[in-house]
Amino acid sequence: MEHLWAPWRVEYIQQEKPAGCILCDKPVEDNDARNYLLYRGENNFIMLNSFPYNTGHLMVAPYRHVASLEELTDAELHEHFEIVRLSIKVIRQVYHPDGFNVGINMGKVAGAGIDDHIHTHIVPRWQGDTNFMPVMADIKIVNEALAETYQRLKEQF
C-alpha cells in the first residue's frame, strides 16, 4: 500500500474551527479580496483554498448551504459544473499545469473538511510537483503567496 503524506495540512486540522460555515459566511462579508473570492455566479462562487495543496487550488461552492449533490437544484448543479469548467480554463491559461485533480468529498469519512456544505476542489498539478520536502522535512512548498495567486486569477475571471 502506498501512503500519501500531507503534513503541511496539520495547521488547518489543528486550528480552532470558526463558528458557522465559511462557505456561507465569506460570500456575505462583502470583502472578496480578503476572503479570496474570485468569481460570483448566480448560484455558486469560486474561492481560493486558504490551505492549498498546490498554487491555484480553488473551491467552487453553491451559496446555498447543502451537504450533497442530490440536494442541489438543476440550476445550481448546472452552473456549478460550468464554473468548474471555467476554473480549469482560467488556471490552464495562467499557470499551464500538466493536469488537474478535481474532486468532491461528501461526508467526513470521505475526507470532507467542511462536510455540511458541498464544494468541488480544483487542484492544478505539474509533473514533479511532489518531492521529498513534505516527507523528510515536514514542509510543503507552495511557490506563490495566496494574495499573488488571487490577483493573477482574479484578472482572468
Q: Which of 57, 80, 119, 121 is catalytic?
A: 119
Which pLDDT value is given to residue 99? Answer: 96
pLDDT in tens, 98-145: 999 999 998 888 877 888 999 999 999 998 776 544 444 444 556 688
Report how far residue 117's alpha carbon sits from residue 61's, in angstroms, rounded to the nearest whole number: 8
Which pLDDT value is given to residue 111? Answer: 79
| Residues contacting 68, CB < 8 A, separation 6+ | 106, 118
Weakest-pLDDT range from 46-55, 68-77, 106-115: 106-115
CATH class of the 7-154 domain in this structure:
alpha beta
- This prediction's pTM: 0.81
Whether the predicted pLDDT of 1 surpasses 80: no
119 is catalytic: yes
Report how far residue 17's alpha carbon sits from residue 22's, in angstroms, rounded to the nearest whole number: 10
Antiparallel, parallel or unpaired: β 44-48 and 58-62 = antiparallel
Q: 3-state SS string over 94-124?
A: HHCCCEEEEECCCCHHHCCCCCCCCCEEEEE
